[in-house]
Amino acid sequence: MKVNGKDLNPVSPMTVEDLVLSTGRVPDRVAVELNGKIVPRAEYPRILLKEDDSVEIVGFVGGG
Amino acid sequence: MLPSRDELEAALCKRHSPEVHGAISKARIGIAGLGGLGSNIAAMLTRAGASHLTIADFDDVEITNINRQNYYLRHIGTAKTDATEEVLKMINPYMTVVKNKVRLDPYNIPGIFGGCDIVCEAFDVPAQKAMLINTLLEKCPGVKVASGSGMAGYGRSDDIRTERLFADLYIHGDGVDMEGVRGGLMSPRVNICAAHMANTVIALLLEGDP
């Protein structure tokens, strides 16, 4: 699969939540787009990623 | 004496061209959060001719806001929505400002911002930023989002960047959390980020792309 433009081949099946955590990010501080569509936060633990998926993860930092 | 509405319109058309002014003045722009980013974005867009702003913030102006937010000492203790409206109407008394003094949540966001062309995410807490952006992208189809992420400290002006990350999401900043940054949030760098965001709004309105 592609994650933020880079190839990633996980050894075991991963949910969106697993992927976000594996990048060191906090799931409540990100937005995730899967194949061009926003993923609702509640769906992160329920969606199993597939080989041909393309994922974009944006993390947010403090200050404004 | 205040200039008339027609005089102001004519001045903006003269400066920006009637075509550009038309596109900016008819747009509906939302600003969520009226701190260092939001209060300054609102003023910049109003100077640029934006005439329909929907603003939201639950807070009042505090003395510690004056270092970077677009308020004056006499605003301390005033709702940020009221203080922002007052500042904006000194620039354009004829514009429409829809004020929402509320804490934004997934239930009220679609009703407040659903009719906007573009919404600026100008919160300061990461989880709140994520909540707002996720709600807008999920529940307000067609609304584009400009978000600020990382603008603390001083120097490193060129580290503040504009990036399109999702189809309808543009991120502005250096991606560095304010925690531990020397000087904390300071006016010049917060304004650089606010200007990136206001600039994205105008580019999206005029070109469909920054």
Domain borders along chain B are 5-207
The per-residue pLDDT of chain B, averaged, comes to: 97
Two tokens at B73?
A: 């000492």
Q: Within an 8 Å CB–CB cutoff, is residue A48 touching chain B?
A: no
pLDDT in tens, B44-77: 999 999 999 999 999 999 999 999 999 999 999 9
The residues pairing with A34 across neighbouring beta strands, listed in sequence order, are: A37, A55
Two tokens at B161?
A: 């960047």
Mean pLDDT of B90-105: 98
The residue behind tokens 């509906």 is: B28
Sort out which chain A residues have CB atoms less than 8 A from B32's CB and list them.
none
- Domain B5-207 fold: Rossmann fold (3.40.50)
Could you tell me which of A40, A51, A55, A57 has the C-alpha nearest to residue A12? A51
Sort out which chain A residues have CB atoms less than 8 A from B179's CB and list them.
62
Based on the number of CB atoms within 10 Å of its own CB, is A9 exposed (0-12), middle (13-18) or buried (19 or more)? exposed
Window 5-24 of A, Cβ < 8 Å to B = none
- State the best of B165, B181, B192 to mutate against chain A, taking most chain A CBs within 10 Å: B165
Q: Within an 8 Å CB–CB cutoff, is residue A42 touching chain B?
A: no
pLDDT value, residue B134:
97
B-side interface with A, Cβ within 8 Å? 33, 35-38, 122-127, 129-130, 133-134, 137-138, 147-152, 165-167, 169, 171, 173, 175-179, 181, 185, 190
Sort out which chain A residues have CB atoms less than 8 A from B137's CB and list them.
31, 38
At what angle are helices B36-47 and B80-91 packed, to 10 degrees?
Answer: 20
Q: Which residues, 6 or more positions from B28, have their beta carbon under 8 angstroms from its beta carbon?
A: B52, B54, B115, B116, B117
Name all domains of chain A by residue range, CATH numbers in brackets: 2-59 (3.10.20.30)
Per-residue pLDDT band for B1 (boundaries 50, 70, 90) equals: confident
Per-residue pLDDT band for B92 (boundaries 50, 70, 90) equals: very high
Are the beta carbons of A60 and B147 separated by less than 8 Å? yes
